[in-house]
Amino acid sequence: MKIRPAELQDGPQVIPIINQIFEEMEIPTLQALSTAKLFAILNKLYQTKTYRYSYRRMLVAVDDSKDEKKPRVFGVAVSYPEVDEATIDTDLEPYYAQLGLQPGQELFPDQEAFPGEWYLDSLAVAPNTQSQGIGSQLLAATKQLARNHEYSVLSLNVDLLNPGAKRLYLRQGFRVEKKITIGPHQYEHMTFEL
């Protein structure tokens, strides 16, 4: 297992893993789309420089065995500095009509990160490789990434309906700061002092 920055060719493997989070979030706009249409849009956005789910904002866990011609992606961590939150979905705007959104309407309107934080937007592991420590490895690599960017706080939000994820974060030293709402769900905002 190797953790590395995502690459353009990882997109077809990364997008279904990220989609697990969208399914859990129950975002009506995304639920109304066919999987094929959603994946086509996400694939285009994955290739941008600044979008929330751009390959440039991701770390991936891959199989690094020599017999693999094309490394398999087992997990994904998406993170960025809080200051980017204001513009992180700008690349999505050309796709508003396809998503059924009006100009000025936002897909992710809720504040997720707070000043001074390096924010872990998404951490997901492929279903067939869960409970093998991949999430913990991605989390450790994200902590190091935040340190490399000279941040002293790593934050994330965990859905109240996902106690397993919360246990992982507590074991990793995160603490609950407050409750927030993102879309139709309640989350606990957690932080880790780096």
Q: Which of 138, 129, 125, 163 is nearest to 18 (CA)?
A: 125
Q: At what angle do helices 134-148 and 163-171 cross, to 10 degrees?
A: 50
Please state, as a whole number, how many other Cβ atoms lie within 10 Å of the Cβ of residue 57: 22
Q: What's the predicted TM-score (pTM) here? A: 0.90
Residue 69's pLDDT is what? 64
H or E element at residue 134: helix 134-148
Residue 100's pLDDT is what? 76
Residues in CB range of 191: below 8 A, 6 or more apart: 117, 153, 154, 155, 174, 175, 177
Residue 163 tokens read as 């106690």
Mean pLDDT (10-residue bins), the chain, 194 residues = 94 93 78 83 93 96 74 93 93 84 74 96 87 90 97 96 90 95 91 97
Residue 186's pLDDT is what? 92
Return the percent helix, strand and coil in the chain, to nearest 5. Answer: 40, 25, 35
Q: At what angle do helices 11-25 and 35-46 cross, to 10 degrees?
A: 120
Cα end-to-end distance, the chain, whole Å: 24
All domains of the chain in start order, with CATH: 2-193 (3.40.630.30)
Residue 67's pLDDT is what? 60
